[in-house]
Structure 1
Amino acid sequence: MNAWLREAPERKFMLRAFRGENGPGMPPAEGVARALLSDSYKLMDNFDMLLAALDGVTQSGHPTRVTGCDLTDRRMYVRIESKAVAIHAPRLLRGYRSPFDGRSGDELPVISAGFVISNSEVGSGAYTITPRAVVQVCRNGLTQSKDVMRAVHLGGKQEEGVVSWSNETERKTLELIKSKTADAVRTFLSREYVEAKVREMEDVAGKELAEPTKTIEHVTKTLSIGNEAKDKILAHFVRGGQMTAGGVMQAVTSTAQTLTDADQAAALEALAVPALTAAAAHG
């Protein structure tokens, strides 16, 4: 770190930290340096972003519920679902069994609408809302990363010293997030949107795989998925019983559910639809 800083001593950075505090008369507690960022980094903290996003969800008028939350050193993830917006997808789930309890996709071919709210306070990506369809039989989440709504952490140069937002700056930023969230929710929780995305997946998901093991090898290599996750995906694929490109997609998402690291789980789930495309192309 010191070597990098010496290369350009005139360059300015923002340091995000937690300051340690002790009681009156006691020496300061040790603080924590969280991130070294550009001096143009715009502060959009998780708590503020979440409240603004939830206000946007309320404004949309859709009945929703929070189905999962994770907070890591890098990102916040909040998963929201609306069972009021659900469609039948028998083609997509034909022959599929939950690798967790063996329930049949033929008997419960339902997919409901949802999305993921995510943000980073430390430079690990923008504030995003990503559409996420939920397979009822196994709770697999099918995220549509190409349709993500994002707000980047980019603003004007920050002055030196402790950064403190003005009330006006904070209000404008949060109002924009609230408005964008409401717009995204209205889009992602529409039956037309979910049906269109499911039909897109169905068009390629039924492709039969002649050599599933080689296909999964190809998919994981193409998407830079590690060997440990690859072995789990293969095991979930076999238990799922769907010997198609769609089965590979389901195996990726069900494997993501088993990962304890929330950042890794989110990254793997985001590869499910690309895995579907890669598997169908390989055959």
Structure 2
Amino acid sequence: MKSGRSLSELAHELERQMLTKQDLVLPSSLLQCRTNERGRLNLVVESGNQARIGVSEYDVTSLARRQLADKLKIPFAYFERMREGQPGLLDHNVNTWLQTEGSRWMVRTLDDEVRAVLSDRYRRLDNFDLAEHVLPILQRLEGARFESVELTETKMYLKVITARVTFEVAPGDIVQAGVVVSNSEVGCGTLSVQPLIYRLVCSNGLIASDHALRKTHVGRALASSEEPITVFRDDTLAADDRAFFLKVRDVVEAAVSEATFRQIAMKLQKTRDISLAGDPVKTVEVLANRYLFNDTERAGVLRHLIAEGDLSGYGLVNAVTHYSQDVDDYDRATEFEALGGKLIELAPTEWKGLAQAM
């Protein structure tokens, strides 16, 4: 499992972000795009009352640029081509559509940057609130240890293992139960709670999609006030998700229960009986094409499969989850852990296509 930051570092950064992040709910017509000759794009809030929002001009992250292009129905490749080669044309196109869009948006900012451009129906289930409610629940798990926690540009992850519940997949090959809680504040996924299996021999993590709890960030449109711009700071958000966070507690406890864990661990164990009778290179190639690996990822999974010398379905699952530790990007590494969970759910016919690839 890929390591992240310490729990205290996570808490410090969440507290820092709580003090600086800000949400603006406003009509698109109050936004203006300004791009300089070097391709640096800023969004400007065109309002006479800057005292309320503090900053009128924001840098824009790559993700927010993609979301802005999507909302204005401008193909992102063309959006970026204009930004890099014809910034004046980009400003003209974007500003024309901003004036005619006629929608209210939520613009999420952090450190004087626009980090997300979302619908005004986006429901804020924020990382600080989630951590405040969930960390005590996780800490109360018997034998709990925070194996990996991280806060990326798009998501927060809390990965916790408990030594209380174990399973022997093979002689001397022990796995432990765990749970992963993840959330995105910028529209890159749901708030989710999923079971996690941790393999002691190689520190692999496998995320199971079964028995998961997911909460989408969609709610009712935020009521507009008399002011054209509605400003929300993190410390003024209404605590209207308490019932949901109570439900999280129940799902966390279920995820690390003996029954749930054994069910998932036995699915993993059954992959030992699947022989990769075909060409291992072709097997990984089929897997890579199905799950969109790049060349580096394909080579990395194949390297682990050959190095570990287990040409079985179990060996392939472990090659995928072990490779996650080599991936620089934490979000992508977690996707490989989740892919391990998808593999143990494959139907026999799907495994046949992988195992007999020639």
TMscore range, shorter length: 0.7 to 0.9
Q: Determine which of 267, 270, 275 is the counterpart of 1:200.
A: 267
Assess, with a 3 A threshold, how the Cα gap between structure 1 residues 146 and 194 changes in structure 2: closer, same or farther.
Answer: closer
Structure 2 counterpart of 1:151, from 211, 215, 225 = 215
* Residues 123-162 of structure 1 aligned to structure 2 (within 5 Å): 123-158=187-222, 159=224, 160-162=229-231
What's the CA shift for 1:254? 0.3
Match of 1:12 in 2: 104
Alignment of 1:61-72 (within 5 A): 61-72=141-152
Residue 163 of structure 1 and its aligned partner are, at CA, apart by 2.4
Conservation of the 8 A alpha-carbon contact between 1:57 and 1:181:
no
Among 23, 43, 55, the residue aligned to 2:136: 55
Residue in 1 aligned with 2:119?
Answer: 38
Corresponding position: 1:75 with 2:167: no
**Aligned equivalents of 2:235 and 2:342: distance in 1?**
42
User: Over the residues paired in the alignment, what is the CA RMSD in angstroms?
Assistant: 2.2
Deviation at residue 55 of structure 1 after TM alignment: 3.0
2:182 matched to 1:118? yes
Rounded to whole Å, the distance in 2 between the matches of 1:67 and 1:87 is: 18
Any idea what SS the aligned residue of 2:153 has?
A: coil
Q: Which secondary structure does the structure 1 equivalent of 2:230 belong to? A: coil
1:195, CA displacement in angstroms?
1.1
The aligned runs of 1:1-283 (5 Å cut-off) are 1=69, 3=93, 6=97, 8-18=100-110, 31-57=112-138, 61-90=141-170, 106=171, 108-158=172-222, 159=224, 160-163=229-232, 169-170=238-239, 172-173=240-241, 175-210=242-277, 211-276=279-344, 277=346, 278-283=350-355
What's the CA shift for 1:62?
Answer: 3.5
Counterparts of 2:129 and 2:341, CA distance in 1: 31
In structure 2, C-alpha distance between the alignment counterparts of 1:252 and 1:229, rounded to whole Å: 9
**Counterpart secondary structure, 1:271:** helix
Q: Distance in 1 between matches of 2:352 and 2:317?
A: 10
Match of 2:51 in 1: none
- Please, which runs of 5 or more residues in structure 2 have no aligned partner? 1-68, 70-90
Give the whole-Å Cα distance in 2 for the aligned partners of 1:128 and 1:36. 22
| TM-score, length-scaled by structure 2 | 0.66
Q: CA deviation at 1:264?
A: 0.8
- Quick one: structure 1 residues 165 and 235, their matched pair in 2 at CA, closer, same or farther if it must change by over 3 Å? closer
Larger Rg: 2
CA drift at 1:177 = 3.6
TM-aligned CA deviation for residue 245 of structure 1: 1.2
TM-score (norm. length: structure 1): 0.82
Pairwise CA distance, 1:88: 1.5
Shift of residue 126 of structure 1? 1.0
Q: How many residues align?
A: 253
